[in-house]
Structure 1
Amino acid sequence: MNVLVYSGEGTSRTSLAHTVRTLKALVGHHYDVMKIDAKGLLTEPWEESTSLLVIPGGRDLPYTRDLNGAVNNKIRAYVQAGGRFWGICAGAYYSSSQVLFEPGTPMEVQGPRDLKFFGGECRGVVYPGFVYDSEQGANAVEIQLSAELSKEPLGFERTRVYFNGGGYFVNAETYPDTEVLSWYTDNNGLESVPSHGSTGAKASMIACTVGQGLALLTGVHPEYDASHLDAGNPEYGPLPNVVSRLLEQDKERVLLLRSLLTRLGLKLTQQEPQATLTNSGSDIELPPGAIQGIPDLTSLYLASTRPAITQELTRSLKSLVTGAGLIKEANDTFQLIDSPQHAAPFHTPTLSEGADGEGEEKVIKNIVLCPEGAPSGNLTPQFTMDTFFTHLQQLRSTSFNGGQLHFGDSLLYGQVVTSTQTMLDKNFALCQKLPNGFVCNATTQVAGRGRGRNSWISAPGCLQFSMVLRHPVQARHASAVFVQYLVALAVVEAVCSMPGYEDVPLKLKWPNDIYAEAPIEDGSERKMIKIGGVLVNSNFSGSEFLLVIGCGVNTTNPNPTTSINHLIRHHNKVTGKNLALLSQETLLAKILVKLEKMYNQFLEGDRTGFAQFEHLYYKRWLHTDAYVTLTTLTPHRKVRIQGITLDYGLLRTVAVDEQGRDVAGEEFRLQPDGNSFDMLKGLISQKA
């Protein structure tokens, strides 16, 4: 499921960055936190796969220009049908029935609004000094929580949160289906603007029941993490200033935000207690915001099956090192550490502007070279590299031509990384130096990449890796488009081809997802759920495609959906078998050996390419004779899936009539439309 954050014109880049970062921290283990613009909201089938839609702070008028009409109709229908919505500051103004902003000033905005989740008026600003694109009007405002909200587990009645230009909800307590969650207090060091006829305290956060759904509207910014604000900015005033006052109560802010997201029905990342971290023997207090659950990046360890391979790769990588001792690449900067015995330096994160114009944290990544073999297990407790290499060699020894297999000979592992896919795909000069079959894997990714705009914090127990594959351009019979199919098939076959594991219910969903039949318990119905996916990025280099293959599959964690080991346990329970569970080290080795054998056959074999695997692919996929609707045709057409084409891997379908009978001559070839929501709900058709 997805959490969507609106990123169209009008959104504040700062507010957008805080919203996305905070949501990834608090719910990113369970949801893909994604940005979406007005076009995406209008044309993509996002509703059924979305748990929360957020419109962050910014400017209300561009929202009305771009979203009024058809988009707002979709948003309203989504919420009324049980969806969840969060409007923050400008998003809260926009979601009310009336707006009155800075009357009598050059910034005045007033008038009706389209969504009307709150039946009354949102009026502001509450505290003077607001200036667009500035922190001059920023304040650490105190809010009084409602009795319902402040009870356990919060245990406090007041806290401070970031404010800049927000409004209040006039007489909110008098409107039906509206619950006031908090009020502005008089303890903020500033006189609030006149009430313009309203009486009583000014509501700062409300929850509105909309049909079967819920809309949370906040005039304040509980999503702002003060540890990512510049305390030295003179617009925040002298110490103690806005930032320092926010930091004093940041723990309460996070608890409040967790409570609000729970009210919206979201599953939260497990809360980590405030603690200390040890660095070089001294205790360091965790910075404010660490409770949010985004862990710090760790060193990367580079090792190989044989020391000679590491030595050759080290020479290649050192050719990229600058005079400053760094590898400065397009997306990342790396520092090589000669061995695990050498102390890895600590690098302070810096804030740079990303490709989309947003603030983005960057930190130099340490690559610890292991010239004598895999590092000690106590350096990589979540993934033992030596165990992986042992499994890899054992599996190769039982394979025909096992001595010719090389995928996984070199492994770069980090316990916490940004994204294995990004580190390889977005650093082209570095990637060119890496050998065929080079693998990068991680235990936790804090910016994992998926198809389309997907980005998430990976859940514990998910095997996630990226691999470099050099695919020859001249192999016309073996189109690179089929590599994604081979990788997904290799994941399923790595498990289901083992003796005794044949009936473990793993399946393929076109074009690149791995699904499982969820165990049926307590009379529940049969349900297919996603447990993994494949992403292939391609660059052209000389006479070959330089492919970066990304793969993630939930191996050991039964949440939030299910895992391979959970399926095995259930299979054992039902059949009375005692099949062994799989470690991530074992599963990665099995996938790589299976993939390399299949790829070599695909590339060489009898030169028929993917036709050699067509029968096996259909045995494992979900779609034989399934029906889908082509939404790109007017009127929509219902079609039956027949298979995939062997030239470009398109989906072969035939039109059917109302009785489900094939219509002669009405054949369509389909390709995914690139959306990240439901591959079989929006398809681009090409008539056969």
Structure 2
Amino acid sequence: MSDVLVYSGPGVSTSALHHTLKTLRTLLNTYDVKTVDAKTLALDPWQKGTALVVIPGGRDLPYVSELSRPYTRNTDGNSSSSGGSQRNAAQEVRNYVESGGSFLGICAGAYYASGHCSFEKDTNMEVDGSRPFLRFFPGTCQGTVYPGFVYESDKGARIIDIERSAEIDRWRCHYNGGGAFMNADTFAGQGVEVLARYAPTQPEELRLDIDLNGAGGTQKRPDYAGQAAVVLSTVGLGKALLFGTHPEFPLLPSSTPVLLAENGGAQTQEDKDRQERDGHLRMHEQRRLQWMHELFTQRLGLRSELPPWAIAAQPNGADGARKVDATGTAVETDEPKLQPIFLASLGKNSDQVTDDIVRKLAAEKSSSTTHLAGFDKCAVLNSARAASVKDSNDALHFFSRADTESVKEAKGLCSSADYDAFSKPIIPSDPSEAETNQDKEVDLDSVPKYILVCKQDQASRPSADLLPYWNIVEYEKFLLHFREANLQKEQIKEQGHWSTWRAPFDPFNPFSFSSAPLEEEYRFGTPMLYSQMVTSTQTMLDKNFRLLSALPVGTTFFATQQMSGRGRGGNRWISPKGCLQFSTVFRVPVSMASKTVFLQYLSGLAVVEGIRLALGDSAAAQSVADKVRIKWPNDIYAEIPPVDETTERAKTATFELDGKRYAKLGGILVNSQFSGGSEFVLISGCGVNCLNPRPTTSVSDLISIHNSTAETSDQLDQISQEKLAGAILSTFDSIWKVFMRHSGDFRPFVDRYRQIWLHSDQETTLTSDAIRQSGAGDEESVRIVGISSDYGLLQAVPRTSNVHAKDAKAWGDSEDSKAGGIIQLQPDGNSFDMLQNLVKRKV
């Protein structure tokens, strides 16, 4: 997954940052949108995995000092701001764009990215000087265009129209202190294109173009009509998009400039006028997102997706503005809402299993729980109450049935929920912003969760039309089918299968070759939970101790989309539709604590083997399956064509190895916690891109690529998410019982793991602080050969070593490593950068 990096260091406005992130995550929902500081931009090797760098609104002067601050990394792997060979963030961003990257600068970010900044000249707020750092616009960015600006405040905020150059219409947006790109047309020969200009007149129907401070209006100001408000610059091989305005702020009745205008007493409106005004705002909010989407896709080459409500084209009016119903009801602008969760178990005793879970939770003593407004009017749900628990992280309400009426009522309650009671103000980083900052964000964890229990009786389960993205019956069918397929592999003792492994004879422990009896039959994938929209399957299981304690091993939580998914190192894990995402419960005794590291490896193995199983046994199917590989320790990658045929460009966040190009197909995150008894509880979260080829690749993409050149007899059917889930979870069954039978020994899986991971004898560069063996030097050229069988450490040797990945000692324990001169590395995937072919320092 490619990154979108948003600078969030000194100078950035809290409000501007909030809305920048929100707009980017709405439109670029297949990218990992995250914040960075100047040191990260200066020192980290972020360039090859990044699709866009953004400097949002705020204050230009702190940007000058922070982004040009020199940093260096010392030979011990530490960083500092002095001495040695130095780098700064601005130069790294400039180099990135010149090499083909994309940049977005908004308001202060655009002032900073221009050759000269001229702000409020001849006033007590004057800032005037050269900006030699980025110079994406070679000329002067001069402002403010409109009066009333106050630092760290929205008091000068207003809604304005700008005239788009390619369209005979106006585009409405938020403005607060931005500049104009002066005489931008004269820089056309230097790659500057004017996309929009400041308009000579402003909208009267909204009457929001006012000076809320009451002073600026009497001040004589330059006429900026016709000057550039938005420019696109070609810089080397890359592009820089600069806005003097604030395109990231929403244009809704609840947006900051609208509220400030109303609260300032500037206007009094009748209800009819207010409805008409609100309708216009909603229409312009739709157009705001549409043009941003167009700029991202057509000008910056990004993969942008409009939310459904913003897609519908509407007829143009005489004034070029698209019309909507005056009440605004024709355009749904609400954010997605959390949806009900369904609990089901599969098999003969399914009702008993779910009843036991609810019974355990009902017996828990907890504080009172809240409900969504309107729950008291839900007669069907009220009659089916089973348990309510205020858990560690969430308020959980269980209901004893999931028939059609119950599901309709629960979906209606959740979809129409008012989240205002669960919202909290955004705390500004600068106290001076607190007075005028009215932005809030929803605390999704505090929103009550509604869980409907599905019974074995089909009439007590939701119908397919009520669950359009997940079919419980189909999932159950495939899970049972692939359990039989895996059992057959064990029974015929398929060559290389983990179930055929036997421990070598140890004369000092003559019973070591025998397997320990298996006390429990593991059945992964049931019971199952499912929600069309949830906060995070990982959080829901990992952070709710009472719920987790009631769930048996193998319980799996599926979701169509996650609103706050979790990834390794705090990375925000984006979950577009078409991605199979789930979290599964595991338990191991305390005596096997050191073996928990292997769960991420076994999860990767289960995913790859599950894809192979779902594709089938034909030669054509296996040729596709062979393209799916493991990147140590927790990522799934797939071999793809070097160029995306739909865009004729190489896909981002890919890497080349041995002449083949690979793109990310999925990822794994494992959380563990001590239960307080005699076991550790682990949650393995997996995400596999099944149906959606963006932004990297998917299982369906691999099949389509194969079918485009295959003979008719070798054509492959697409794989549904239910089928893939059944194949992966049934494979977990087979893997986990062997792992537990051999007390956490990884050796049964080595042969198969070695075949499907990417790293056998891969040559790479090892940096000093990634080396656990002392005296190895600052950097060393090494080969990756295996994983230690006792602690799960990545094992490497000097390139000239005679130890190779095919050797048993490459996959042996720590004693074997010492004898073989093997270097051991911690399993931290964020320090293994395949894009740079580098095991990076941990700083």
TM range (shorter): 0.7 to 0.9
**Residues of 1 paired with 2:804 and 2:679: CA distance?**
45
Q: 2:739 corresponds to which letter in structure 1?
A: F
Match of 1:101 among 87, 103, 119: 119
Q: CA deviation at 1:458?
A: 2.3
Q: 2:351 corresponds to which letter in structure 1?
A: P
Match of 1:547 in 2: 682
**1:541-593 per-position Cα deviation (integer Å, ceiling 9, x unaligned):** 21333322111112233444432244345556647435554321122122112
**Residues of 2 paired with 1:73 and 1:452: CA distance?**
26
Q: 2:583 corresponds to which letter in structure 1?
A: S
Q: 1:126 corresponds to which letter in structure 2?
A: V
Residues 100 and 430 of structure 1, relative CA distance in 2, 3 Å threshold? farther
**Residues of 2 paired with 1:387 and 1:268: CA distance?**
32
Q: CA deviation at 1:62?
A: 2.5
* Structure 2 residue 756 is the aligned partner of structure 1 residue 620: yes
Match of 1:85 in 2: 103
Match of 1:126 in 2: 145
| Residues 410 and 439 in structure 1, CA contact (< 8 A), matched pair in contact too | yes
Match of 1:323 among 361, 368, 377: 368
Matches within 5 A, 1:623-642: 623-632=759-768, 636-642=779-785
Match of 1:593 among 714, 719, 730: 730
Q: CA deviation at 1:248?
A: 4.8
Residue 132 of structure 1 aligns to a residue in which SS?
A: coil
Matches within 5 A, 1:188-587: 188=202, 189-190=209-210, 201-227=226-252, 229=255, 232-233=259-260, 234=263, 237-238=266-267, 246-262=281-297, 263-269=299-305, 272=308, 285=329, 289=333, 295-305=336-346, 306-318=350-362, 319=364, 322-324=367-369, 327-329=389-391, 331-340=393-402, 341-342=405-406, 343-344=409-410, 345=413, 346-350=416-420, 351-352=423-424, 359-363=440-444, 364-373=447-456, 374-396=461-483, 399=487, 404-476=521-593, 479-497=595-613, 499-500=617-618, 501-503=621-623, 504=625, 505-518=627-640, 526-542=660-676, 543-568=678-703, 570-571=705-706, 574=710, 576-577=713-714, 580-587=717-724
Residue 624 of structure 1 aligns to a residue in which SS?
A: coil
| Residues 300 and 412 in structure 1, CA contact (< 8 A), matched pair in contact too | yes
Moved more, 351-360 or 375-384: 351-360
4+ long deviations beyond 6 Å: 240-245, 354-358, 400-403, 520-525
**Residues of 2 paired with 1:651 and 1:339: CA distance?**
48
Q: 1:144 corresponds to which letter in structure 2?
A: E
Residue 584 of structure 2 aligns to a residue in which SS?
A: strand
**1:228-277 per-position Cα deviation (integer Å, ceiling 9, x unaligned):** 6255452595456998864452222222212221211112215635699x
Match of 1:19 in 2: 20
| Residues 669 and 685 in structure 1, CA contact (< 8 A), matched pair in contact too | no
Residue 323 of structure 1 aligns to a residue in which SS?
A: coil
Match of 2:134 in 1: 115
Stretches of structure 1 that go unaligned for 5 or more consecutive residues are: 151-155, 277-282
**Residues of 2 paired with 1:12 and 1:347: CA distance?**
30
| Residues 537 and 583 in structure 2, CA contact (< 8 A), matched pair in contact too | yes
**1:365-419 per-position Cα deviation (integer Å, ceiling 9, x unaligned):** 5423224234322221211112222332344456379992232222111112232
Q: CA deviation at 1:53?
A: 0.7
Q: CA deviation at 1:643?
A: 1.4
Q: CA deviation at 1:517?
A: 1.8
Residue 714 of structure 2 aligns to a residue in which SS?
A: coil
| Residues 199 and 225 in structure 2, CA contact (< 8 A), matched pair in contact too | no
**1:603-626 per-position Cα deviation (integer Å, ceiling 9, x unaligned):** 232x46112212211111111111
**Residues of 2 paired with 1:9 and 1:431: CA distance?**
41
Q: CA deviation at 1:421?
A: 2.0
* Structure 2 residue 839 is the aligned partner of structure 1 residue 683: yes
**1:414-453 per-position Cα deviation (integer Å, ceiling 9, x unaligned):** 1122322233334444434433222111122333332234
**1:181-217 per-position Cα deviation (integer Å, ceiling 9, x unaligned):** 2122232345697566x87633211112211111111
Stretches of structure 2 that go unaligned for 5 or more consecutive residues are: 71-87, 203-208, 211-216, 313-326, 372-388, 430-438, 491-517, 651-658, 770-776, 806-818
Q: 1:362 corresponds to which letter in structure 2?
A: D
Moved more, 397-406 or 52-61: 397-406
Identity of matched residues, %: 40
Moved more, 452-461 or 88-97: 452-461
Residue 151 of structure 2 aligns to a residue in which SS?
A: coil
Residue 448 of structure 1 aligns to a residue in which SS?
A: coil
**Residues of 1 paired with 2:417 and 2:831: CA distance?**
35
**Residues of 2 paired with 1:74 and 1:12: CA distance?**
23
* Structure 2 residue 787 is the aligned partner of structure 1 residue 644: yes
Residues 25 and 47 of structure 1, relative CA distance in 2, 3 Å threshold? same
Residues 14 and 367 of structure 1, relative CA distance in 2, 3 Å threshold? same
Residues 390 and 245 of structure 1, relative CA distance in 2, 3 Å threshold? closer
Moved more, 334-343 or 455-464: 334-343
Q: What's the Cα RMSD here?
A: 3.6
Query: TM-score with structure 1 length normalisation?
Result: 0.86
**Residues of 1 paired with 2:345 and 2:672: CA distance?**
25
Q: CA deviation at 1:140?
A: 0.3
Matches within 5 A, 1:657-676: 667-671=822-826, 675=830
Query: TM-score with structure 2 length normalisation?
Result: 0.72
Match of 2:50 in 1: 50
Aligned length: 664
Higher strand residue share: 1
Match of 1:168 in 2: 180
Residues 32 and 304 of structure 1, relative CA distance in 2, 3 Å threshold? same
Q: CA deviation at 1:456?
A: 4.8
